[in-house]
Amino acid sequence: MKKVLAVVAALALTLISSVAMAEVNVSGSIDIRNLSTQNTTDWNSKNSDENRTTQERIRVNIDAKNDNVKGRVTFENDWDVWGRVEAPQANGATTTNAGGGRLEIREGWIDFTIPGAGPAHVKVGHQFLQLGNGWFFRSMKYGSDAWVVGYPGTNTVAFVDVKVAENLAAASDDVDAFVLLDNYKLNDKSTVGAYLVYLRDPQGKFTGSGDESNLDNIGLWFNGVLGPVNLQAEVDVQMGTVKFADGSADRKFKGNQIVLEANMTPAEGLKVEATVGTGTGQDTSNDYTIMKTALDADPHYTFVYEYFMKTAAGAKNTGFANTLAVGVGASYEINKMVGVDLKGWMLQANEDVALNGGTPDSDLGTEIDARLRLKLYEQLSWSFTYGHFMPGKAYEDGSGVADNVDAIQGVLSYKF
């Protein structure tokens, strides 16, 4: 027993000495989500695909800082479904299995100033990344493994090396993205930037080609204030080639997109906003004309269409790929405790698609999203979001059926 106490004491002294050398802070959040969705997979109310769950998400952040070095480790169990693997406590059972959610590393990085190189920084490890306004590449939910070497200032220049996928460790089949970016701060409220991405995809896993692919993306963006308007704008143009192992002729990447987001505050507590985004789809040519995106699994604009459903690009979380989206809305702070948001969307496919066995069409449908926000305490909030999507002809099945889709979400969130 004395040996055990001695070991515990030694560990405690080591921890105390470590803390003394660095400033360490712990923060995080506990979120409880009630979620209900209907018709998100087959768009037919006669076939039951209703989903009702209660979920819990826990995030713990540990931040350390000393001298010119800082680091962060974040643990998360991402929306663990209540009761998923718990054993019922009946028939004499006295224990239950551990919950289905497992803590994963959401962030784990080191950021330090290079000695003798002025403000030059290196940030390495698992970290959140976003290029421009985040409409081509955004990993703000689960993060990316990357090196970032930059020279911050009024004109920030950086090189980013992202390990997109390791695939087989013993093979040269990794998906890597190499980025050069330049962000220029026009003033305290406005920044303009450009980035160049070279994505090496030896087996066509990211691009979906199945053959060696080299995708280039040039992005130009602006985020700032023009008079009374807060404006975000981004343009992405894609180039590069796919080289087929069977000797077939190379195919080119020709996707592009334009995204404009604007908002203004005409009265105290009232904000009006508008979004126009469009990305190319796959036409009948032999090239890859659809806009390729690498976005995380969070909502990006619509609550239902792009977050819960298969979009006109054939998957979830595809941004504006093969989509023209026009949205207008407003938010109003009723008082310090209550706020409401309302936004409507018109959605069209840039290239006709048949997403459920019907006739190809460009009409994707319309959506209305509403949210009620409650601030119960300084660190405790409760929000309720309702999304109602009315599918267009592109979602009809062979019988011409495309029923409405509904999603309701309530999130009680405590941040500490």
Question: What does the pLDDT read at residue 166?
Answer: 80
Question: Along the chain (416 residues), what's the average pLDDT of each consecutive run of 10 residues?
Answer: 43 47 91 94 81 94 94 94 67 49 87 92 97 97 96 96 80 86 97 97 83 95 97 98 89 97 97 98 95 96 97 97 98 97 98 96 98 98 98 95 95 98
Question: What does the pLDDT read at residue 9?
Answer: 44
Question: What does the pLDDT read at residue 136?
Answer: 98
The structural architecture, per CATH, of the domain 254-416 is Beta Barrel (2.40)
- How far, in Å, CA of 118 to CA of 122, rounded? 12
Q: How many other CB atoms are there within 10 angstroms of residue 168's CB atom?
A: 9
DSSP 3-state of 7: helix
Contact (Cβ atoms closer than 8 angstroms) between residue 121 and residue 149: yes
Domain extent listing, the chain:
114-223, 254-416
Contact (Cβ atoms closer than 8 angstroms) between residue 114 and residue 122: yes
Question: What does the pLDDT read at residue 92?
Answer: 52
- How far, in Å, CA of 252 to CA of 255, rounded? 9
- Provide Rg for the chain, Cα atoms: 24
Question: What does the pLDDT read at residue 3?
Answer: 47
Sequence-separated (6 or more) residues with CB below 8 Å from residue 106: 59, 74, 75, 76, 126, 142, 143
Question: What does the pLDDT read at residue 245?
Answer: 85
